[in-house]
Structure 1
Amino acid sequence: MSNENVIRAWAVKEAGGKLERYDFDAGELGADDVEIKVEYCGVCHSDLSMMNNEWGMSSYPLVPGHEAVGEIIRMGSAVKGLKVGQKVGIGWTSESCQHCNPCIGGHGNYCPENVPTIAGNGRHQGGFADKMRAQWQWVIPLPGGIDMSKAGPLLCGGITVFEPLLQHNINASHKVGVIGIGGLGHMAIDFFNKWGCEVTAFSSTPDKYDEIRAMGAHNILNSRDSEEFAAAAGTFDLIVSTVSVKLDWNAYLRLLKPQGKLHIVGATLDPMDINAFALIAGERGVAGSATGSPVQLRTMIEFAARKGVLPITENFNMSEVNEAMEHLEAGKARYRIVLKNDFE
């Protein structure tokens, strides 16, 4: 096998397994492919879900990692608009068909043939590795001067909370709320603040209030205080939920203005109990989204660089990846974990 096509990585061989060193032949570089040398890769809870096959879509061996940043080292013959040596990033999606209506309409993240970066096959594996590949349309140029050690989480967590701003045409006159002040929520607060919105965080942990305000929240509502909720009824244009647990969704719907939206980005597996009158009385809506398209990713990363939006991170070497995953699974991450490539 050709040395230039060999990728050194960390992979799981079965659901629930530990990450092990794994070298594989990625095959010849395709005409539309870009190969990058990974410098840093963020760790997302979705990596853990894929490792454990929680969503029933994993195949093994599986190399996690879909928040990778690095330098282009090789490109296929059909690649456009990129160059060797350029700093770029790769997020959740690594390929789409480029001819369906979602793709040509600028919504390639909903392409029925799109391929996740961590698909778990020889051509598409993740960024817990020294190199990785993606179709050129999904390789996102990074603005000059951005902190490479913190940029990776923007390509999944960042776009996940940024996309609702675009979907709902949110502007600086709007009042927005954030449920769940963790890996996604802390970036949501920063993005919404820098977008110019009045930002309210929902939290039941007073010990975190000073930290939440430092993230950019203008207000904090105690999520367990019914009196505070009653006083805030009908005041929000948008509330974004980043949690993966069941909540009293009708209580949050009552906080929305007429035509306000409750937007779900946290992957709760429980059915949502929604009172129809909570929607009918005020033309309110419940929406959701999954990451973003290439143009939305470019818009997000350029805005983040211009406004100084960056995640709060903890760093591990890639060789410490099992310790990093245990740290994440134990709920100790504050607030995103980033791996540094230490392959020699």
Structure 2
Amino acid sequence: MIKAYAVHEPKGELKPFEYDPGPLKDDEVEIDVEFCGICHSDISMIDNEWGITQYPLVPGHEVVGTISSAGSKVDHLKIGDVVGLGWQSGYCMTCDSCLSGDHNLCSAAEQTIVAHHGGFADKVRASAASVVKLPDRLDKESAGPLFCGGITVFNPLIQFGIKPTDKVGVIGIGGLGHLALQFLNAWGCEVTAFTSSEEKKKEVLELGAHKAINSRNPSEIESAAGQFDFILSTVNVKLDWNTYLGTLQAKGRLHFVGATLEPLDIAVFPLIMGQRSLSGSPVGSPGNIAKMLNFAAQHNITPVIEKYQFADINEAIARLRSGKAHFRVVLCR
């Protein structure tokens, strides 16, 4: 039996829960969970914000732990390996996306906490193809958020060929944004942080931003007109997107990794006349997760975390809900 914490209704408290996962499949591994980050997507699933939650739900998709069992067909991972598991826990392995290395775009991908029990537990199971070994130099305690937040902001750098000479803006310096600043700085870009918090300005510069703009001050944003090659939006709220569009250079791109639920209100002429683009992306393939982990280890990129014990899981959830977490919350065994 797997011992976990589950929620049984929208916005409910997590309570002890046990379930029998059945026999281990040939292509699966079982992970002894040591650490698990709490992501805003866990909150969205707990609250059924996206309308896809099935209860009881065991959230948790930023897992770090040790492989305790491996199926008979698993040959690239072994018992005792320290690994991580993110948003996706399985792929069809036969579609064009999987065969071309874009597993994260597989339409049949299994999501770790959608119709599947996640990592707020002592153990979790997943297809071995979705599990990635941690580099030895990476800190286990803080690595969990890299498997969702980290790959979410790192993947666009590869997908859209971001160059070291590019000028990049990051909207929202929270769980995703604070990692984006670190990755972009190490990538070699000139990085500007758009933040609504004057208190964060000093810290964003320490995290890797070269400049900080007050996103509550339209004149400050407008003063950056035509500057950026790429803007990464990490927020989940509606903003004046046309103002941000105006800060892009010709052929610039406004890219979304934060899941704002309201439709985008975008003027088309600035897109046409400047040949600008809008886009979005989900997490990343296992191959790109591995690249991201190695890059993080090489450049000492570390999520800023607050730690809670698994037994204090509801307190940890409340901390994330408060909007005061700095910057990611991690459950520790």
| 1:232, distance to aligned residue in structure 2 (A) | 1.7
* Structure 2: distance between partners of 1:315 and 1:214: 22
Which one of the candidate residues 297, 300, 309 is aligned to 1:317? 309
Is the partner of 1:302 in helix, strand or coil?
Answer: helix
Q: How does 1:6-155 map to 2 (within 5 A)?
A: 6-120=1-115, 124-155=116-147
Structure 1: segments with no counterpart, 5+ residues: 1-5
User: Any idea what SS the aligned residue of 2:312 has?
Assistant: helix
2:290 maps to 1:298? yes
1:303-341 Cα distance to aligned partner (Å, 9 max, x none): 111111111000000010000001111112110000012
Distance 1:325 1:86 in 2: 29
Number of aligned residue pairs: give it: 333
Deviations 1:205-245 (A, max 9, x none): 22221111111110012223333333321110110001111
Of 265, 271, 294, which residue of structure 2 is paired with 1:273? 265
CA drift of 1:177 comes to: 0.5
Unaligned runs of 5+ in 2: none
Q: Distance in 1 between matches of 2:216 and 2:122?
A: 46
Where does residue 209 of structure 1 map in the other structure? 201
SS of match in other structure, 1:281: helix
- Give the CA RMSD over aligned residues: 1.0
Structure 2 CA distance, aligned partners of 1:118 and 1:228? Answer: 40
**CA displacement, residues 42-81 of structure 1 (integer Å, 9 cap, x when unaligned):** 0001001111111111111110000000111100011121
Deviating 4+ runs (over 6 angstroms): none
Does the aligned pair in 2 maintain the 1:36–1:70 contact within 8 Å?
Answer: yes
Match of 2:323 among 328, 331, 338: 331
Q: Which residue of 1 aligns with 2:235?
A: 243
Distance in 1 separating the partners of 2:112 and 2:216:
38
Other structure's SS at 1:250 match: helix
- Deviation sequence 1:99-150 (CA, Å, 0-9, x none): 0111111111111111110124xxx311111111110110011000211010
- Aligned with 2:181 (options 149, 170, 189): 189
Percent identity, please: 52
> SS of the counterpart of 1:246?
coil
The reply to whether residue 258 of structure 1 matches residue 250 of structure 2 is: yes
Report if aligned partners of 1:80, 1:136 keep a CA contact under 8 Å in 2. Answer: no
- Whether the 8 Å contact between 2:172 and 2:196 is mirrored in structure 1 is no
Secondary structure of the corresponding residue to residue 152 of structure 1: helix
Q: TM-score, normalised by structure 1?
A: 0.95
With 150-159 and 230-239 compared, the bigger mean Cα shift is at 230-239
